[in-house]
Amino acid sequence: MILENIISEHREKKAGDSKGEEDDIVTVLLNLQDHGDLEFPLTTDSIKAVMLDLILAGSETSSTAIEWAMSEMIKNSRVMEKAQAETIDSSSEERFEALKQEVRRMLIESGTDQPDQKLSLIDGVQRLGVGYHFKSEIEDALKKLYHDSNYNQNDLYTVALRFRLLRQNGFKASSDKFENFKDSEGKFKESLIEDVDGMLSLYEAAHLGIRGEDILDEAIVFTTTNFELILPKLSPDLAEQVSHALNRPIRKCLARLEARHYIDAYTRDKSRNTTLLQFAKLDFNRLQELHQKELNGITEWWKSLDVARNMPYARDRVVECYFWMMGLYYEPEYSIGRSIMTKVIATTSLLDDTYDNYATCEELELLTEAIERWDIKAKDSLPDYMKITYCALIDVYIEIEEHLAKEGKSYCLGYLKEAMKRVMRNYLAEAKWRDEGYIPTMEEYMKVSLVTSCYPMLATTSFFGMGAIATKDAFEWVSSDPKILRASSIVCRLMDDIVSHEFEQKREHVASGVECYMKEHGVSEEVVLKLFRKQIANAWKDINEECLKPTPAPMPLLERVLNLARCIDIIYKDDDGYTNSHILKDHVASLLKEPVLV
């Protein structure tokens, strides 16, 4: 009754002349009731409730405010849905951080007197794709393990796992430890065949070898030969693990694809760490959401080029380009680099198809000259169909320039432009060889084709998205054709030639390395393919060696070059997965479409 009287008095004042008096809370509420554009009705009972809350303030202020807010949200479904979403997001974030801190605690504290346990934990963290959260903890743990000989040196699984983890992280562990598992004749003991887990660990470790480590070459032959013999006898889970490894060892796996695979395998592992598994699942899905948002933005940019109408001769592969660059660097801190690098490689793909499949040599000379000038006005000298791609290239590098300016690193832009110009000059050289029907020597071919693999350009350009670690010295280094970059380019070029040379020759493409070698040395295709595979294996050994401390450049930069080689093993292992993009469909879907079940 009291509240009703107060409201009545205020209504009478409103109806009369109350000028000069300041509005109190009741007057404000009455004005809102009469004239406010609210999404829910403000009834007299609601006003009474607010007044009562104010009167009782100090005793149950928070609880009554919450009750009132909840009652009003119930009346407005849109507000309620938004609040629920925010609550879920907040809850998920808290859970994620709690799991993350628990995994960190385990890495720091667990297994201090049990190195075998620590090794298994680190392996799980890295294979599940969450190692990027704990780089310093893993580095510290492995540094201690490197100097610690307190582990079971007679257990093949442990010895091989320790070797692989140390090598993966730059520590030059000795391969001599594997001599303990040979017999008196210098061969791996036949009894090891019964230790499937140990053999699998040895197989994975052996792919971290460098040139001259014959024992690791022998290990690959020994494990591969015996796995092929015993595979039909293994349990389904174990057979799946072995088949997966034989198809692609961990060293050659892209981190995200390996994480997606291993999450499923680890879920079936009876000895799994549930905290680690839950964290890995949440992290995978969080990253996937980020990648999806990035791809949506890139797709809108790609649509603006209208490739199907303006360049019908070119491959429409923007999703595959994003997949490629996601392999280059997937971590959230590289979001800007990943997005812009996708535009770089997608634009380069359009240029590649223009040089390869469509333009005349005269037109290509104009295009190459325009790119050398690097001036938007140069487009006026180009045929209309070239102008769109040329302008897209200039625009992408303006975007890079703006990013570098914000970081105070504008000096980097010159390295990036020169790397792209170098690709175009060599595209033109290949086009002339094609039109002249010229088959170069292998020396001539490799000098040009390692550049047109685009890996030197992609590696150089990727550094712009790496932050402060990519210094001027780093750009000087990557621009000097370092050993690891040459090795990664060899992997790219020769794997591409092996799977695509027959198709390329059917469409009057420039001679591949296969044709060049066959002509120069008078040998069969079979001999050339065997030789190329050997060169690819040696290139991987060079990559491994360059990743051992002391490294020629900071490890995060070397990892970009390593990841480029890994991308090629996915895209070109059995076929040209870029041209025949259906080959990559399942890989793309597993990373960009299908979340893991939590």
The secondary structure of 41-61 as a DSSP string is ---HHHHHHHHHHHHTTTTSH
| Residue 246: pLDDT over 70 | yes
For residues 110-127, average pLDDT = 88
Give the Cα-Cα-Cα angle 197, 203, 206 (nearest 5 degrees). 140
Indicate the domain borders of the chain. 1-14+23-64, 153-252, 277-593
Give pLDDT, residue 139: 97
At 550, give phi and psi (nearest 5°): -75, 135
Phi and psi at 83, nearest 5°, equal: -65, -40
Candidate from 50-54, 256-260, 353-357, 558-562 with smallest mean pLDDT: 50-54
Tell me the one-letter amino acid at 508: E
- Kindly calculate the radius of gyration of the chain based on its CA atoms and give it in whole angstroms: 31
Alpha-carbon distance of 219 to 182, in angstroms, equals 10
Q: How many CB atoms lie within 10 A of CB 214?
A: 10
The pTM of this model reads 0.84
Q: What is the DSSP letter of 151?
A: S
How would you label 401-434 residue by residue, b for 16+ Cβ within 10 Å and e otherwise?
Answer: bebbeeeebeebbebbbebbbbbbebbbbbbebb
Residue 402, SS3 per DSSP: helix
| Alpha carbons 170 and 164: distance in angstroms, whole number | 10
CA distance 543 to 99: 35
Query: For residue 15, what pLDDT band results from cuts at 50, 70 and 90?
Result: low
Instruction: Say yes or no to pLDDT of 16 above 90.
Output: no
pLDDT of residue 115: 87
- pLDDT tens, residue by residue, 428-474: 999 999 999 999 999 999 999 999 999 999 999 999 999 999 999 99
What is the identity of the amino acid at 132? Y
For 22-31, which contacts have Cβ atoms below 8 Å and span 24 or more sequence positions? 25/50, 25/51, 25/54, 26/51
DSSP secondary structure code for residue 264 in this structure: H
CA distance 81 to 84: 5
Output phi, psi for 272, to 5 deg.
-60, 150
In degrees, rounded to 5, the angle at the alpha carbon of residue 541 between the alpha carbons of residues 539 and 543 is 70
Average pLDDT on 119-148 reads 96
CA distance 553 to 2: 79
> Residues 6 or more apart from 80 whose CB is under 8 A from it?
73, 74
Q: How many CB atoms lie within 10 A of CB 130?
A: 23
Instruction: Please determine, for residue 412, whether its predicted confidence score (pLDDT) is greater than 80.
Output: yes
CATH superfamily of 153-252: Terpene synthase, N-terminal domain (1.50.10.130)
Report the C-alpha gap between 412 and 241 in whole angstroms.
Answer: 44
Residues of the chain above pLDDT 70, percent: 86
- pLDDT in the model for residue 54: 57
Q: How far apart are CA 299 and CA 332, in angstroms?
A: 19
CATH no. for 277-593: 1.10.600.10
CB 25 within 8 A of CB 54: yes
Contact of 107 with 122, CB cutoff 8 Å:
yes
Average pLDDT for residues 527-546, to the nearest whole number? Answer: 98
**Confidence check: pLDDT of 143 > 90:** yes
Residue 153, pLDDT above cutoff 70: yes
Burial label for 275, CB within 10 Å (0-12, 13-18, 19+), is: middle
Token pair for 376: 């938007």
